[in-house]
Amino acid sequence: MPKQSIRTRKNTALAYSASISFDKRLYNHDINGSIAHANMLASVNIISKNDAKQIVSGLENIRKEIKDNVFPWNTDLEDIHMNIEDRLHGIIGETAGKLHTGRSRNDQIATDLRLYLKTEIPFINTAIRVLQQSLLSIAESNIDTLLPGYTHLQRAQPISLAHHYLAYFEMFDRDVARYRDCLKRTDILPLGSGALAGVPYNLDRNLVAQTLGFASVSKNSIDAVSDRDFIAEFQACSSICALHISRLAEELVLWSSSEFGYLSLNDAYVTGSSIMPQKRNPDYAELARAKSGRIFGNLTSILTILKGLPLAYNRDLQEDKEGLFDTIDTMIPTLEVLAGLLVTMTIRKEQMRANVADFSLLATDLADYLVSKGVPFREAHSIVVEISEYAQSSNLTLEEIDPKTYQKFSTHFPENYQGFTPETSVSSRNLTGGTAIPQIKKAISDCKARLGKVT
């Protein structure tokens, strides 16, 4: 190890522990928290009204300096709280020292983070709503666009494309609800907990909560300074949402391939290849699919940071922030890009229709028809296998087999038997949650109503 002076070592250690490079992002919330605290201290006569006035005006000055990019950030001052407090001394002198009465950085940072998330979650929910709007508009213009529904990525049964995209609408609807729920547990004020044991002043915590717009105050000071469940929960909500994004994105990649040929992505959402002129690579959908990886990483990170931490505050908790910021910075643009990609893509209805005409997709319907005529299901199943083999060997679709041939396989088919079409298959599934057109129309108006509600 090279020889270093103790001064150099101390500087290296300081730089290692400093969080200012990333927690400066919390400055507005930190200042709002401090203003609410100072005004409350004056209202319960712990500091004078004049002191509070000076503190508030100094803090507003600092807010402006930061906004105007002229604030003298100092890494030696570790974090956002120390940077602001030190600058306050520089601006208003001695009185600045009164601001930290009845407060610790431990309850201060917990407050900042909660305020921050309270403002960010609604932005994410708005972005999800925009994505849902895109899904809904595709659904509205594709109620009678039929394609094969898949299980095991094998063609299974005919479905409406609207029904397919409304499945994603439901997933994202649950994500909005999950984020809202997370918001409820984030909406609690920790300030007034001190370092861990509470504070020996008669603070008015409810007044601070009211000023900052918190629904309630924390009930246990030890928990309040060490709890980061709300961040873990936020990362979990984001992971589930990212997982939905990833499934949707994967399907866009697959469906826009020439093997499927169901979609054509708009030029704005594909890239070319430097050597293969024919290429239209779905890079944006691929990136949206991949972003889930870093969001899951951020969830794993916060869970691992919290696991085994003894009560109460530990500096480990400082590591909660970068992942949190990264998730927000990843989720919002991903949702926005995906929403744009969806509304601009072209749907190749003919290709979907060609694939849905596949005999095998209607096999279940045929068997169900025989069952409805009193044939035991097992027997119906083997009759359908025979018809299917016949259709394949004679290269006919189900629609092309004539009624007489049906009768050869089973006398339960009437003389004028018309057979099934993808349309009759779809329209037979006319119950809540099914793919029949009247159900989809109902689902669309229900989805519209849900989108109309405030996020």
Residues of the shown chain interacting with ligand ARG in the complex, contacts defined by CB under 6 A: 19, 23, 79, 105-106, 109, 313, 315, 317-318
Q: How far is the CB of 130 from ligand ARG (least distance, A)?
A: 32
For 355-392, give one letter per residue: b (16+ CB within 10 A) or e. Answer: bbbebbbbbebbbebbeeeebeeeebbebbeebbeebe
Contacts of 360 (CB under 8 A, 6+ apart): 155, 388
**In terms of Cα–Cα distance, which of 447, 431, 426, 442 is closest to 161?**
426
Minimum distance from residue 147 beta carbon to ligand ARG (Å): 51
CA 221 to chain centre: 31
Catalytic residue numbers, as ranges:
152, 273
Q: Report the residue number, 108 or 238, with the smaller CB distance to ligand ARG.
A: 108
* Residue whose CB is less far from ligand ARG, 136 or 317: 317
Closer Cβ to ligand ARG, 149 or 323, answer by number: 323
What 3-state DSSP class applies to 149? Answer: strand
HSE, side-chain direction, 13 A CA sphere, residue 208? 30
Task: Find the helix or strand (DSSP H, E) in which 146 lies.
Answer: strand 146-151
Phi, psi of 185 (to 5 degrees): -80, -10
What's the min distance (Å) between Cβ of 235 and ligand ARG?
17
Which positions ≥6 away from 446 have C-beta within 8 Å?
none
Whether the bond into 312 is cis, omega within 30 of 0: yes
CB of 82 to ligand ARG, least distance (A): 8
User: Cβ 86 to ligand ARG, closest distance in Å?
Assistant: 14
- Looking at the Cβ atoms of 30 and 233, the one nearer to ligand ARG is 30
